[in-house]
């Protein structure tokens, strides 16, 4: 059986994701699709709009054979960490033949060439990079300029301005650096851009869909500069019927104000409590926290009103809003640099936690049990095969999930559902 791996967030699931699943099978000739998906928190440094099990369910109903959770330390990391964690997990499963990702350019050869330069760091490229850094450019901008100079191609600037291209380059780098036998493919993103804020055709961005969902009676959780008239949910879902699969429409209707929407600002008080227990020195143990950022955080802690407002307050020419948001989330979830270094030294992902599978493709799980080089976790009580490092990683996942659930409990006044009680999703298509 040929299996293609996808790396996704599905925040929320939409037509572009469905196209990705189908196209990936087509161009790779795969018999089944396996997904590595972010859990309750995503790479841009925010909570997912809805819980991981709901997002996994729609993916399974849309044809995915199985969904595994990307550990939260990688799901909330930089593009490099995110890609390294996800690719390492695909490698460890031992049965994935191909990795197919979306990109704005759709040109795998170009992305592969750039990834090769960044991996090998030839002398001329290194010279251009150092020159750009001496001029005071931020590292991403300096790297972009150095690549343009090295390749003598101004179009590279445009390629490196697009988030999915950047992530694709990191996937290819991770394949190189791990000596992976997985073959890479890319498909071009359809119609809308990653950051597009308005619906477009039938393939709108997740950002545009989240923005529309936020109008359905939840605008108090938006950025302070966003003011909307609030239409009823039925009107919003009518507008989304051409943007997301019917299974997703049903889920959005049935769980609204019960299991979603969740926003960064819902974690504001939790963040403030965590920061009140830290010092500038203690903050520096968390991933992505520099001395300068730690001092900025502590100097402005009294000005924290909401999560998003604090990100706006802390951002600067060198520190983007997303970088700040991601850093604050690392503090909130207690993701430490030392732990990440330990994970990397031991092969990154220490286990594969199954979120759900399709009953009609359960043969994929049979194969995985034979090929996986890391423990497959189907029950949180069955962790005897995990190393101390693996237990530490899993503990962080569990604590992060329970924190997310506590926000749902408070926001929607529902009973708390401990992570140990979560069941694997089994989608029966009969």
18 carries a ligand binding annotation: yes
53 carries a ligand binding annotation: no
| Exposure of 27 in the CB half-sphere (CA atoms within 13 A) | 19
| Residue 41 backbone phi and psi in degrees, to 5 | -135, 150
189 carries a ligand binding annotation: yes
8 carries a ligand binding annotation: yes
10 carries a ligand binding annotation: yes
330 carries a ligand binding annotation: no
> Which two three-digit tokens encode residue 421?
């009680």
45 carries a ligand binding annotation: no
Residue 320 buriedness (CB in 10 A; 0-12 / 13-18 / 19+): middle
| Residue 362 backbone phi and psi in degrees, to 5 | -65, -15
Q: Which is nearest to 214 in space by CA: 228, 201, 200, 196?
A: 228
Distance CA 145, CA 133 (A): 10
170 carries a ligand binding annotation: no
265 carries a ligand binding annotation: no
Residue 417 buriedness (CB in 10 A; 0-12 / 13-18 / 19+): middle
Distance CA 154, CA 167 (A): 20
Q: At which residue do the structure tokens 């931020």 appear?
A: 138
Distance CA 307, CA 221 (A): 10
Q: Positive or negative CA dihedral for 371, 170, 113, 19? A: positive
Distance CA 122, CA 110 (A): 17
Q: Which residues of 348-382 are buried (b: 16+ CB within 10 A; e: fewer)?
A: bbbbbbbbbbbeebeebbebbeeebebbbbeebee
213 carries a ligand binding annotation: no
11 carries a ligand binding annotation: yes
Residue 146 buriedness (CB in 10 A; 0-12 / 13-18 / 19+): buried
Element (H, E) at 182: none
9 carries a ligand binding annotation: yes
102 carries a ligand binding annotation: yes
**CB atoms inside a 10 Å sphere around CB 305:** 12
- Which residues contribute to the annotated binding site? 7-20, 102, 164, 189
Which parts are annotated binding residues for ATP? Answer: 7-20, 102, 164, 189
């Amino acid at each position: 059986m040929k299996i293609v791996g996808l790396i996704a967030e599905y925040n929320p699931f939409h037509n572009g994701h469905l196209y990705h699943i189908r196209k990936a099978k087509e161009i790779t000739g795969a018999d089944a699709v396996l997904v590595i998906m972010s859990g309750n928190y995503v790479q841009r440094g925010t909570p997912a709009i809805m819980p991981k099990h709901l997002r996994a369910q729609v993916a399974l109903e849309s044809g995915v054979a199985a969904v595994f959770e990307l550990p939260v330390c990688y799901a909330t990391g930089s593009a490099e960490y995110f890609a390294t964690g996800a690719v390492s997990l695909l490698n460890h499963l031992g049965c994935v033949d191909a990795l197919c990702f979306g990109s704005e350019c759709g040109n795998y050869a170009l992305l592969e060439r750039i990834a090769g330069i960044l991996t090998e760091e030839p002398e001329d490229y290194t010279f251009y990079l150092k020159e750009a850094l001496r001029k005071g450019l931020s590292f991403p901008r300096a790297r972009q300029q150095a690549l343009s100079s090295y390749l003598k191609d101004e179009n590279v600037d445009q390629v490196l301005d697009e988030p999915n291209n950047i992530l694709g380059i990191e996937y290819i780098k991770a394949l190189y650096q791990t000596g992976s036998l997985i073959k890479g493919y890319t498909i071009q993103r359809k119609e809308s851009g990653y950051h597009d804020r308005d619906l477009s055709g039938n393939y709108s961005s997740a950002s545009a869909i989240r923005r529309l969902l936020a109008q359905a009676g939840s605008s108090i959780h938006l950025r302070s500069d966003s003011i909307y008239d609030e239409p009823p949910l039925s009107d919003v879902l009518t507008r989304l019927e051409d943007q997301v699969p019917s299974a997703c429409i049903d889920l959005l209707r049935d769980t609204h104000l019960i299991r979603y929407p969740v926003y960064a600002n819902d974690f504001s008080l939790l963040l403030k409590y965590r920061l009140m227990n830290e010092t500038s020195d203690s903050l520096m143990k968390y991933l992505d926290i520099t001395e300068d950022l730690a001092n900025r955080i502590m100097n402005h802690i009294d000005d924290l009103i909401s999560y998003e407002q604090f990100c706006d307050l802390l951002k600067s020419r060198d520190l983007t809003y997303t970088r700040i948001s991601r850093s604050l989330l690392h503090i909130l979830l207690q993701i430490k640099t030392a732990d990440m270094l330990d994970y990397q030294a031991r092969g990154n992902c220490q286990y594969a936690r199954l979120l759900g599978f399709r009953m009609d493709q359960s043969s994929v799980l049979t194969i995985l049990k034979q090929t996986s080089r890391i423990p497959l976790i189907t029950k949180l009580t069955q962790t005897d095969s995990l190393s101390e490092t693996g237990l530490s990683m899993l503990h962080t996942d569990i604590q992060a999930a329970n924190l997310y659930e506590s926000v749902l409990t408070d926001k929607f006044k529902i009973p708390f559902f401990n992570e140990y009680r979560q069941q694997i999703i089994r989608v029966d298509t009969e």
